[in-house]
Chain A
């Protein structure tokens, strides 16, 4: 029996790391808002602010050989997965030095080196991909798992139900992580789902499931370690419902007419960064100089990322259609026969 909690070393070094990772995401996105207002970033920009504990906690349990499939609200997952702030910011700018050569922007971060399969902007559209990636691993006898992130909005899509059923039926190593932030764009979960306990949806497909406090990074880390180990050991899927909240609007176009300021303020009392910071302080694990130091280091990293993105190159228009299809000589296969 693995003691999953013991995998999470609640020592000062590890906790500082969690704090720092959450802070990186928070400050990165705050800078993105400024850059959006300044016209450097365009299109859709979906912020993860408030939800950082989920990506940071979960990624502690996802190994380098594992695969990650996520959504259009993926800046946090990308940074926590180890994709550089430089490449991510260059992608936001649409520059060639970006993760996807600048072609995808905020919603379509891809990175082969970290097995990061998007950045998928059709709600639930990444879920079948995750099932297929896990199927490939199973057929080849590999031990890696696929972490599939999605939001509560995905639960209303057919792709969610078909994917859960197929992963369970075929016993595929998918760790489904639902980041339930209570709103599908502007529609509250109570207005969209007949069953708002989302673990019950998973259980109806014979998938083990549990709900997690998505504002508590340590709780997310412990739960994800346990879940990931189970997926690895059994080869079967598992479902986490991380109950969380986004503090900002759905995207930069959202006037937030659908929820009260009081509700947002209430959730902000459980800000994952403030929560961890306070807990560490109370436990004498946070020294007075730590936060200023972390803030300075994170600010320097983001300044560097912005400078990198600014200095990046635009893809030449001559390359507009490059990579639509793989370049190969016409008839080459016939000739090779």
Chain B
């Protein structure tokens, strides 16, 4: 075991990918000389050179589209978009090209492209750098969407994503980069198909992903003090959703709360709640609860930002409400 950070795990994953496969290259804004806006790619340009670590102009449409084109032509590009908020500028390329071309071409062309981007609130960077728009991408057929929440996944998901013949979007919550922990030596690829049960429990299922997984785990600790044993699921893959893992847990605990930093309306949490209704309605002892962001552009002041997004105490309150309403 070695102690490392999420940021280093992302960097090591890139190094290994670049060493392993000459078709792999990285491009994005300030990924090279600057070292990445979150320092995830520091040192890579010195090791692999500017041909494979390509600093781009601020041209999200062109460099994301160029990634799609290079993938079409047989390369294995990793495109870093500085944040999900800037990815809106490239949404046309992702939704209209990356997601459609395989099907629309009659299966003739694959797009083995990996797009990474930071997401989420918590750093007081206000309403144009803090939103969680994962659900927009998870809405679209033709792309796979993953959200590594752990060091092992930060290290391993990139590997698997690069082996995937289809476009994969990787969301890295900006608050996770400094997460510290132990990672086994030689950690490698991980599956990107299944959700994972990170804490077993019998009374309620907490379903979360990315940074909010850690808030759900913190909430589970608090609930345990009140003798409520929460099972915590890390979704890991946001599209396609692993219904089986969710339903197996919910059928056991008979209660579920979905934690999602996206806004409640039209959220991933809404989709998961609907699926639980469709597939496990008669196993439920209470309505599915949701802890989402308030319906507001994320504000700058710390107390308002904290109030706008999911927090462990909100999760605890929502869980207790499920029990309260049913004695």
Contacts and interface: CB of A to CB of B under 8 A. Distances in A.
- Chains A and B bind each other: yes
Interface of A: 67, 69, 98-104, 108, 110-112, 117-118, 120, 122, 125, 127-137, 139-140, 158-159, 162-163, 165-166, 169-170, 321-326, 328, 330-331, 333-334, 337
B113 to A, nearest CB: 9
User: Which 9 A-B residue pairs are closest in the complex by CB-CB distance?
Assistant: A128-B65, A132-B69, A101-B106, A162-B62, A136-B73, A132-B66, A110-B105, A323-B107, A162-B59
Nearest to B110: A326
Interface string B17-28: 000000001000
Given A128-B93, A323-B103, A325-B166, 19 more contacts: A103-B105, A103-B106, A104-B106, A112-B105, A112-B108, A112-B109, A122-B97, A125-B96, A128-B63, A128-B69, A131-B66, A132-B68, A132-B72, A135-B66, A162-B62, A166-B63, A325-B142, A330-B194, A333-B192
Interface string B193-216: 110000000000000000000000
Interface stretch (B127-135, B183-191, B218-226, B273-281): B183-191
A110 B142 contact: no
B74 A110 contact: no
Interface in B51-107: 51, 54, 56-57, 59, 61-75, 77, 92-93, 96-97, 101-107
10 contacts: A128-B65, A128-B66, A140-B74, A163-B65, A165-B59, A325-B141, A330-B194, A333-B189, A334-B160, A334-B189
Nearest to A319: B107
Interface string B133-144: 000000001101
Contact of B65 (A129, A170, A334): A129
A69 B72 CA distance: 12
A323 B62 CA distance: 26
Contacts of A133: 69-70, 72-73
Contacts of A67: 73
Contacts of B164: 326, 328, 333
A324 B54 CA distance: 30
Contacts of A117: 69, 72, 109
Contacts of B56: 166
A158 B61 contact: yes
B70 A132 contact: yes
A131 B75 CA distance: 13
Contact of B193 (A128, A169, A331, A337): A331
B104 A104 contact: yes
A139 B25 contact: yes
Interface residues of B, number: 51
A108 B104 contact: yes
B301 interface: no
Residue with the highest number of chain B CB atoms closer than 10 Å, among A67, A118, A169? A118
Given A101-B106, A132-B69, A165-B62, A125 B141 contact: no
Residue with the highest number of chain B CB atoms closer than 10 Å, among A100, A120, A325? A325
Nearest to B191: A334
Contacts of B70: 132-133, 135-136, 139
B158 to A, nearest CB: 12
A331 to B, nearest CB: 5
Nearest to B51: A139
Given A127-B65, A129-B69, A132-B68, A110 B103 contact: no
A129 B63 contact: no
B62 A159 contact: yes
A270 B166 CA distance: 47
A100 B101 CA distance: 10
A334 B163 CA distance: 11
Nearest to B144: A325
A175 B142 CA distance: 30
Contacts of B69: 69, 117, 128-136
B142 A330 contact: no
Given A130-B69, A133-B73, A98 B188 contact: no
Given A128-B65, A165-B59, A169-B57, A136 B74 contact: yes
B266 interface: no
A122 B101 CA distance: 13
B165 interface: yes
Contacts of A169: 57
A104 B97 CA distance: 13
Given A325-B142, A326-B110, A162 B105 contact: no
A134 B66 CA distance: 9
Contacts of B189: 333-334, 337
Given A129-B72, A132-B73, A333-B163, A166 B96 contact: no
A98 B191 CA distance: 36
B92 A166 contact: no
Residue with the highest number of chain B CB atoms closer than 10 Å, among A100, A104, A135? A135
A151 to B, nearest CB: 17
Contacts of A108: 104-105
